[in-house]
Amino acid sequence: MNISAEQLAELLAGIAKAQNAIIDAVERANGGWRSTHMSPTLNVAANMRSAEPRLVDLPSRVLLRYQGRAAVDVALIAAELDHLVTGAPMPVAAANASAAMARPEAVLATARPIAAAPAASPVPATPQAVPAAPVAARPVAPATPAPAPAAPQAAGGDDLDFLSKS
């Protein structure tokens, strides 16, 4: 039987989806389990510190993608499988998407900046040429008085008196 990279990617995504359902069930029964116990262990299993993943790390990385908010892309998993098995280079778009799912901060550091909208007037070349706005023209937030602290209440025979007694 021959199986393609796309078919294997769908199989990995389906297994990770089933594992994610189990993780959700345990989280509902024992709140906080996912962030306390499962996530650190899964990060170690996915070998997230390695820049270049190995084939053995891929299933854990797919499960990590199910833990996030981004949708799991089977085509991206297939491209990663093809890259890991054959050594063929990943397409640039797939490599960037893969890195974004694994490490968003790493992609943000290498991403091309978004071009800003053109300004209405040209920017002066030197900082000295920028006119300072007068102080009166700057918006000032209205001053609001701070709330007064609540006065302690007398303990007229109350059993729940927390004031110090002397």
Is residue 154, in this structure, part of any structural domain at all?
no
Give yes or no for a contact between 61 and 49, defined as CB atoms under 8 angstroms apart: no
Q: Which amino acid is at 23?
A: I
Contact present, 76 and 94 (Cβ < 8 Å): yes
- Number of residues that make up the chain: 166
Residue 55 in domain: yes
Query: Which residue is it, tokens 């990770």?
Result: 16
Domain boundaries, position 59: 5-110
In this structure, the number of other CB atoms found within 10 A of the CB of residue 17 comes to 13
Residue 147 covered by a domain: no
The secondary element (H helix, E strand) that includes residue 40 is helix 39-45
Residue 12 lies in a domain: yes
Domain total in the chain? 1
Q: For the chain, 166 residues long, give each residue's pLDDT as a single digit of tens.
A: 899 999 999 999 999 999 999 999 999 999 999 999 999 999 999 988 888 889 999 999 999 999 988 888 999 999 999 999 888 777 665 555 555 555 444 333 444 444 444 445 455 555 555 555 555 555 556 666 666 666 655 555 556 656 666 5
Any domain includes 22: yes
Sign of the C-alpha dihedral computed for residues 92, 93, 98 and 101 taken in this order: positive
Rounded Cα gap, residues 166 and 163, in angstroms: 10
- With respect to residue 125, please indicate whether it lies within any of the assigned structural domains: no
Q: Answer whether 16's CB lies under 8 Å from 59's CB.
A: yes
The encoded tokens of residue 22 equal: 């189990």
Q: Is residue 129 part of a domain?
A: no
Scanning the structure block, which residue is given the tokens 């891929």? Answer: 58
The answer to whether residue 66 sits within a structural domain is yes
Q: Is 77 helix (H, G, I), strand (E, B) or coil?
A: helix
